Structure 1
């Protein structure tokens, strides 16, 4: 499943990306032509709209691998609603 996500980090600003292979532990994120170094901490901002509500979910992550046009991240900090959001997304 592909999910749009905003990647935020001080110094990088906000970058619109797509996730691939998302799980409870982490995800692969396509960053396009923007290079993101390994070992940095980032914040991922997901939005989810259903027929009744719009939801914004933030998850803190660490970049564990940089490759070609993407990165692999491990989720580090789960904020309000993030577990519920991942359950819905992975269902």
Structure 2
């Protein structure tokens, strides 16, 4: 399993609306290879979020990005973005205390 981490800046003043849109997007139909996500908001910079998702593989994430489901996701959350995600990377856990 891999972890996708994206840093997203949203338009000032839209934090609650963005969070509600992400919560609504969680109700979209299941996506092959997807295991869920967390959304974290920065304390120091409240318009900055980290989106953390779990995937079977990088390919599963790439397949999602090429799908209609991604268009549905982006339609819900995209209007709040101040710009494209600054960082999107895939990681694998090498040490964990969870």
TM-score (norm 2): 0.27
TM-score (norm 1): 0.28
More strand as a share of residues: 1
Largest Rg, 1 or 2? 2
More helix as a share of residues: 2
